[in-house]
Amino acid sequence: MTNRLEVDAVFKRYGDVVALREMTFEVHAGELFGFVGSNGAGKTTTMRIALGVLAADRGEVRWDGRPIDLESRRRIGYMPEERGLYPKMPVGEQLIYLARLHGQPPTVAKRSVRAWIERLGVAAHRDDEVQKLSLGNQQRVQLAAALVHDPALLVLDEPFSGLDPVAVEIMSEVLREKCAQGVPVLFSSHQLDLVQRLCDRVGIVRGGAMVACGSVDELRSGASSQLVVDVPDAPRGWADGIPGVTVCAQDGTRTVLELPQDLDDQVVLKMALSTGRVREFAWRPPSLVDLFRNVVSDEVAG
Amino acid sequence: MSSAWQPVALVARREITTRIRSKGFRIGTLVLLAVVVAFPVVLRLATGSSAHSVGFTSQNASLVQPFVAVAEASGANVKTATVPDQSSGQQQVRSGALDALVVGSSGSIQVVVDRTLDEGLRAAFIALAHQQALDAQVRHLGGDPAQVSAAVASAQLDVAALEAAPEINGQRIALGIVTGVLIYLSLQTWGQVVAQGVVEEKSSRVVELLLSTIQPWQLMAGKVLGIGQVGLVQIAIVAGGGAIAGLVTGALTIPASAVAGTVVWLVVWYLLGFFSYALVLAAASSLVSRQEEIAGVVGPILMLLVVPYVLGISILPSKPDSRLIEVLSLIPLFAPTLMPMRLAFGGVPVWQAVLAVAPVVLMIPALVWLSGRIYRNAVLRTGARVRLREALRAS
């Protein structure tokens, strides 16, 4: 049992539109994998193919080295992008039903539902119809629906969208906990700071293919770091004259610079000191937002 | 095999518990039951087939026997009562307890009524007067009136019909109409419940969650089987309850076996009709994503139920042997509505009853295949209405 999810060269076309081209990546046991990309990049299509809701034209999704089939799908916890539950069915009954559909025996299903609605703070709504719940609580029930059958793999499409800060905390905690139990967790999100904070590895998707994949540190290597210099007394354009230096941004008294590899940053410091006080002089590793922006700007350029 | 059917059973059970718990189901069933129980009683009152009560005084009590005899012969339904005297009898006529009071004696019969004399009773009284006059003459000529009566009674007319005329019986008509209404309402109602259920899953998007763990055919089969069972329970309660009430109250006097046969055929045809139509309706409704769009796709299919029903209910009561209905009732699409009606009206040859079932039974597997294909290709495509041709093409 390697408990590893492999997406291998998956290709999907809708009419003339190619949605996925050779999408390839792996999610290992006990790993939180964040899936980021612009809308329409292919994240949802990949997840739907993994769940068998959509058929791939080519390529394969494997779990434990075997192509995913009906039997293994029942052990996946899934949160579709399009949230959906029966609006008129009571919360508890609905979750038990979903757990049973995933193959759980009745007593186990009941116990598991009770535990999860308590954990996710919706136990008081057990007998209420889903449509009577607030949107935030509906999201919690949706998450419970992905968890009640004790899944061995989690695939969550935008699990954080629409959640209040408390629910975001609970959700993050649950994902980390599942991960610690050895469950591979794949989730997509537009909240890049959250992805950076949570994930062991990140995959950036563009135009239906994986363009960058690895830990945030791995993704940073290769990308140039930025130098932040705060010089309150300096005139505008103080750094323009330094050869090789690019001014990325001017934020109040702070200037964000990019330096070529061979340039000594002490040159920049001397220049800064010559303008007066220096309140801050720091190298900043690129955030996931920066990395993502690079990828997107490549996309625009290319 | 058993593991593939387990999700089907779970889906079916959800449908059953959800539907049976709904207020609509309980109220609907009670209303239908009330209508079905009340219908034969109301019909009997409306056609006035109840017995007329005729009072006699002690002076003319000897007329009771001959009157009952002629009334029976002329087909009038009567019951007789003896009143102590004329004035109390007249009181009863005025109050409506008696329809007619006989005063006078065998020589000159007088009838007291409140306003008018019922035509059937008038014929019976005229026959009685004729009988009395005849008896008097026979006696006068030295003959035996009883002997003459016996001789007259034994003279009968033999009619040789070239084709057997259908027996038109008020109760059979009532049974036929109730059967027609029940099968039509059941197929309409439960067919539409299936369509709404399919679209509910699409519009709420829960279908994606469901289909990530079970297969489309399992979801569709569970839904159709579950809702079909709920409809079966309802039609069995209503038809069975109506039949028992009719027999117990005496509203139905035709043989109990004929009533039971009608109920059994009704249930059989409900099942055949439901599965034929529900599968097609499930497939058709899977093409759309919003409740408002359902009518557009299921309307044309439901017309296949409406047309034979309207034809049957308007033609059969006056012409149970209509050739048009006979032919239509053997066509698989129309058989579910028309055949149970014809069977309730009576006079259907056994070969026709059996022949009508066979093509429907053969058609269902084909519908399973076709509907399953459309449903599988269309149910996950939300948004604009899916074109039928696209849904039929393999995904």
Which comes out higher in pLDDT, residue B103 or B169? B103
Q: Does ipTM come in above 0.85?
A: no
CA geometry: angle A50, A72, A183, nearest 5 deg: 80
In a domain, B360, yes or no: yes
Most A CBs within 10 A among B17, B212, B382, hence the mutation to make, goes to B212
Question: Are residues B212 and A52, on separate chains, in Cβ contact within 8 Å?
Answer: yes
B18 pLDDT more than 50: yes
Question: Are residues A70 and B215, on separate chains, in Cβ contact within 8 Å?
Answer: yes
Beta carbons within 10 angstroms of residue B141's beta carbon? 8
Give the full edge-to-edge strand order of the sheet including A5-14.
A17-27, A5-14, A58-63, A66-67
In a domain, B209, yes or no: yes
Residues B224, B99 within the same domain: no
B114 pLDDT more than 60: yes
What average pLDDT does the segment A58-80 reach?
91
DSSP tag of A129: B
List CB contacts (< 8 A) between A52 and chain B.
211-212
B1 pLDDT more than 50: no
Token duo for residue B210: 């469901």
Residues B141, B201 within the same domain: no
State residue B229's pLDDT score. 96
Q: Rounded to whole angstroms, what are the CA distances from B331 to A148, B85, B188, B315, B359?
A: 50, 66, 19, 17, 8
Mean pLDDT (chain A) is: 88
Q: Shortest Cα distance from A180 to chain B (angstroms)? A: 25
Q: Which residue of B has its CA nearest to A71?
A: B213
State residue B223's pLDDT score. 95
In this structure, are residues A98 and A51 in contact, taking their beta carbons and an 8 Å threshold? no
List CB contacts (< 8 A) between A84 and chain B.
204-209
Question: Are residues A76 and B382, on separate chains, in Cβ contact within 8 Å?
Answer: no
Closest CA to B279 of B189, B370, B379: B370
In this structure, are residues B298 and B192 in contact, taking their beta carbons and an 8 Å threshold? yes
Q: Which residue of A has its CA nearest to B200?
A: A86
Cα–Cα distance, A233 to A231 (Å, whole number): 6
State residue B163's pLDDT score. 67
Residues B270, B192 within the same domain: yes
Strands A254-258 and A246-251: antiparallel
A117 pLDDT more than 50: yes
Most B CBs within 10 A among A14, A57, A86, hence the mutation to make, goes to A86
Domain span at residue B296?
7-45+168-392
What average pLDDT does the segment A266-272 reach?
85
State residue A299's pLDDT score. 52
Cα–Cα distance, B94 to B245 (Å, whole number): 33
Cβ contacts of B43 within 8 Å, gap of 6 or more: B170, B173, B174
The backbone torsions φ and ψ at residue A37, rounded to the nearest 5 degrees and listed phi first, read 165, 160
A141 pLDDT more than 90: yes
State residue A34's pLDDT score. 93
State pLDDT tens for residues A122-137.
999 999 999 999 988 9
- Portion 362-381 of B in contact with A at CB < 8 A: 380
Query: Which of B208, B213, B380 lies closest to A101 in CB terms?
Result: B213
Which comes out higher in pLDDT, residue A144 or B81? A144
Question: Are residues B204 and A76, on separate chains, in Cβ contact within 8 Å?
Answer: no
List CB contacts (< 8 A) between B209 and chain A.
78, 80, 84-85, 98, 145
Residues B246, B109 within the same domain: no
Percent of chain B residues topping a pLDDT of 90: 44
Q: Rounded to whole angstroms, what are the CA distances from A286 to A192, A205, A227, A282, A291?
A: 12, 18, 10, 12, 6
Residues B21, B101 within the same domain: no
State residue B166's pLDDT score. 56
CA geometry: angle B221, B193, B280, nearest 5 deg: 55
B67 pLDDT more than 70: yes
Residues B146, B193 within the same domain: no
The backbone torsions φ and ψ at residue A53, rounded to the nearest 5 degrees and listed phi first, read -75, -25
B390 touches chain A (CB under 8 A): no
Residues B229, B357 within the same domain: yes
Question: Are residues B213 and A73, on separate chains, in Cβ contact within 8 Å?
Answer: yes
State residue B328's pLDDT score. 94
- Portion 15-54 of B in contact with A at CB < 8 A: 18
What average pLDDT does the segment B63-83 reach?
81
Helix residue spans in chain A (DSSP H): 43-50, 70-73, 91-101, 106-119, 135-147, 165-180, 192-198, 216-220, 265-273, 288-301
State residue B50's pLDDT score. 62
State residue B2's pLDDT score. 56
DSSP tag of B118: -
Using the 3D structure, point to which of B96, B121, B154 is the last residue of a domain: B154
Residues B145, B237 within the same domain: no
Pick the CATH number of A5-214 from 3.40.50.720, 3.50.40.10, 3.40.47.10, 3.40.50.300: 3.40.50.300
Most A CBs within 10 A among B13, B213, B390, hence the mutation to make, goes to B213
Residues B67, B215 within the same domain: no
State pLDDT tens for residues B286-299.
999 999 999 999 99
Binned at pLDDT 50, 70 and 90, residue B220 comes out as very high
State residue A61's pLDDT score. 94
State pLDDT tens for residues B298-342.
999 999 999 999 999 999 988 888 899 999 999 998 999 999 999
In a domain, B161, yes or no: no
Which of A35-39, A221-225, A251-255 has the lowest average pLDDT? A221-225
State residue B359's pLDDT score. 93
Helix residue spans in B63-118 (DSSP H): 64-74, 86-95
Token duo for residue B305: 């139920």
Q: Which residue of B has its CA nearest to A87?
A: B204
Using the 3D structure, point to which of B129, B154, B179 is the last residue of a domain: B154
Q: Which residue of A has its CA nearest to B379?
A: A53
Cα–Cα distance, A206 to A293 (Å, whole number): 12
- Portion 236-265 of B in contact with A at CB < 8 A: none
State residue B238's pLDDT score. 93
Percent of chain A residues topping a pLDDT of 70: 97
Q: Which residue of B has its CA nearest to A93?
A: B14
DSSP code string of A37-103: E-TTSSHHHHHHHHTTSS--SEEEEEETTEE--HHHHTTEEEE-SS----TTSBHHHHHHHHHHHTT
Q: Which residue of B has its CA nearest to A89?
A: B18
In a domain, B172, yes or no: yes
State pLDDT tens for residues B266-285.
999 999 999 999 999 999 99
Residues B187, B90 within the same domain: no
Question: Are residues B210 and A101, on separate chains, in Cβ contact within 8 Å?
Answer: yes
CA-atom Rg of chain A in angstroms:
23
Which comes out higher in pLDDT, residue A108 or B78? A108
Query: Which of A74, A87, A145 lies closest to B209 in CB terms?
Result: A145
State residue A222's pLDDT score. 67
Q: Could you state, in order of their start, the residue ranges of all structural domains in chain A?
A: 5-214, 226-285
Mean pLDDT (chain B) is: 87
CA-atom Rg of chain B in angstroms:
30
What average pLDDT does the segment B387-391 reach?
83
Which comes out higher in pLDDT, residue B137 or B281? B281
Question: Are residues B205 and A52, on separate chains, in Cβ contact within 8 Å?
Answer: no
Cα–Cα distance, B385 to B137 (Å, whole number): 89
A62 pLDDT more than 70: yes
B232 pLDDT more than 50: yes
Query: Which of B206, B215, B395 lies closest to A86 in CB terms?
Result: B206
Three-state SS at A260: coil
Residues B69, B114 within the same domain: yes
In a domain, B81, yes or no: yes
State residue B164's pLDDT score. 63
Tell me how many residue pairs between chain A and chain B have CB atoms under 8 A apart.
56
A1 pLDDT more than 70: no
Cα–Cα distance, A139 to A164 (Å, whole number): 10
Binned at pLDDT 50, 70 and 90, residue A11 comes out as very high
Q: Which residue of A has its CA nearest to B206?
A: A84
State residue B167's pLDDT score. 59
Q: Shortest Cα distance from A74 to chain B (angstroms)? A: 5
In this structure, are residues B181 and B269 in contact, taking their beta carbons and an 8 Å threshold? no
Binned at pLDDT 50, 70 and 90, residue B44 comes out as low
In a domain, B162, yes or no: no
User: How many domains is chain B partitioned into structurally?
Assistant: 2
CA geometry: angle A143, A149, A152, nearest 5 deg: 95
In a domain, B1, yes or no: no
* CATH architecture label of A226-285: 2-Layer Sandwich (3.30)
List CB contacts (< 8 A) between A54 and chain B.
380
B74 pLDDT more than 80: no
Residue B126, domain CATH: 3.40.190.10
Residues B377, B279 within the same domain: yes
